[in-house]
């Protein structure tokens, strides 16, 4: 059954009269939400904060709705979503609007250098632990840290998100793994019934 919070949000009609930002640049952010945040959540204000900065209203509304749905399933755990906002006048302004709407958020600096060893050591993890926690190969991490190879663009983005919200990324990765494992398990209808041999009675004596 859907929560009353999600139900109210889904019943909302089109959101109009958005005063859109006139100039700005793209920025990547990580939004976080847990059920403990629901009392202070203003889903409309969060949606408008994203929409006024170039996101389509439908896309912003869907993202907030999915965060609510994920936090409903996760219980006390925090759920996160990484997104790129098209037109941000300043990261601080968007963070302030989202904070006022009850959504936690961090700005991911796409221009910052990615120091894999520093990220890992800040989390107090070995290479093996870091690899297992975030779905990476230990040898790849070693190569990055030794300078043998450099992370590609996608890997850099992922590492920046880990640096910005390590707990949220961990929860999201674990849930993805659990979902893939569940999908790989045979369904009850797919399991063949065990054949039972019936003994043939011998001749009566």
Kindly give the residue spans of alpha helices, DSSP state H, lying in the chain: 4-10, 43-51, 57-74, 91-100, 116-122, 127-134, 138-146, 153-164, 166-184
Identify which of 92, 102, 108, 124 has the alpha carbon closest to the alpha carbon of residue 163.
108
Rounded to 5°, angle at Cα 11 from 29 and 70: 40
Supply the pTM of this predicted model. Answer: 0.68
- Each of the 205 residues of the chain gets a pLDDT tens digit; together they read 345 555 655 555 555 668 899 999 999 999 989 888 899 999 999 999 999 999 999 999 999 999 998 888 877 678 888 899 999 999 999 999 999 999 999 898 877 789 999 999 999 999 999 999 999 999 999 999 999 999 998 899 889 889 888 988 888 788 777 766 667 666 544 544 443 344 444 444 4
Burial 80-93 (b: 16+ CB within 10 A, else e): bbbbebebbeebee
Give me the residue label for tokens 């793994």: 177
All domains of the chain, ordered by start, with CATH? 9-108 (no CATH), 116-185 (1.10.260.40)
How far apart CA 133 and CA 173 sit, in angstroms, is 8
What are the backbone dihedrals phi and psi of residue 197, each rounded to the nearest 5 degrees, phi first? -85, 130
How far apart CA 152 and CA 197 sit, in angstroms, is 59
Query: What are the angstrom distances between the C-alpha of 94 and each of 27, 48, 147, 167, 182?
Result: 10, 11, 35, 22, 37
């Amino acid at each position: 059954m859907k929560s009353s919070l999600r139900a109210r949000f889904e019943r909302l009609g089109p959101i109009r009269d958005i005063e859109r930002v006139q100039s700005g640049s793209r920025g990547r952010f990580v939004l976080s939400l847990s059920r403990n945040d629901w009392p202070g959540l203003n889903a409309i204000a969060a949606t408008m904060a994203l929409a006024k900065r170039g996101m389509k209203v439908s896309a912003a509304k869907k993202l907030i709705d999915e965060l609510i749905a994920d936090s409903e399933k996760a219980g006390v755990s925090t759920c996160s979503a990484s997104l790129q906002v098209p037109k941000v006048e300043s990261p601080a302004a968007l963070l302030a609007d989202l904070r006022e709407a009850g959504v936690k958020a961090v700005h991911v600096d796409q221009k910052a250098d990615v120091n894999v060893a520093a990220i890992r050591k800040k989390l107090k993890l070995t290479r093996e632990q870091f690899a297992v926690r975030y779905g990476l190969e230990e040898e790849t991490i070693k190569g990055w840290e030794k300078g043998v190879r450099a992370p590609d663009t996608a890997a850099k983005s992922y590492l920046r998100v880990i640096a910005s919200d390590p707990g949220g990324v961990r929860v999201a990765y674990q849930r993805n793994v659990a979902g893939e494992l569940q999908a790989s398990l045979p369904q009850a209808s797919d399991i063949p019934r065990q054949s039972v041999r019936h003994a043939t009675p011998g001749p009566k004596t």
